[in-house]
Amino acid sequence: MEIYPIAKHIHMTFAGLSFLGFVIRGYWMISGSNLLHKKPVKILPHIIDTILLLSAAVLVVLTGLYPLAVDFVTLKLLLLVAYIILGTFALKRGKTKAIKVASFVAALVIFLSIFAVAMHKPVF
């Protein structure tokens, strides 16, 4: 049994779950829902994102496509950092609702950019 396809499917599945969870939490933030403050909502994203990052690390090791050595992997990593920063402003650190909403929209654009880079693997 080959590990690469399993790791890739796990990675893609948890990327989708991470995106879906972020969209739902963003909707709850915009609508002012109390669900955003429930304990499972605070814990589950960390579990999903940990599995997502671990599967990414496995894929990097299996393929040898290391950041700083391969352009599109480096770009995905930089976009991921931007997504995390914007996501924290959208869901926690934003001082006003306007900042939170703008950060949320920007984070969604960044996430979709990560997806586009993954699909097209551009060379610079």
How many structural domains does the chain have? 1
Range of the structural domain that residue 59 is part of: 3-120
CA 122 to chain CA centroid, Å, is: 19
Q: What is the DSSP letter of 90?
A: I
Give the pLDDT confidence score for residue 41 in this predicted structure: 96
Q: Which residue has the higher pLDDT, 69 or 37?
A: 37
Share the mean pLDDT of the chain.
94
Q: Is residue 106's pLDDT more than 70?
A: yes
pLDDT band at residue 97 under the 50/70/90 scheme = very high
Angle between the 3-31 and 39-63 helix axes, to the nearest 10 degrees?
Answer: 150
Question: What mean pLDDT do residues 12-38 have?
Answer: 96
Q: Is residue 50's pLDDT more than 80?
A: yes
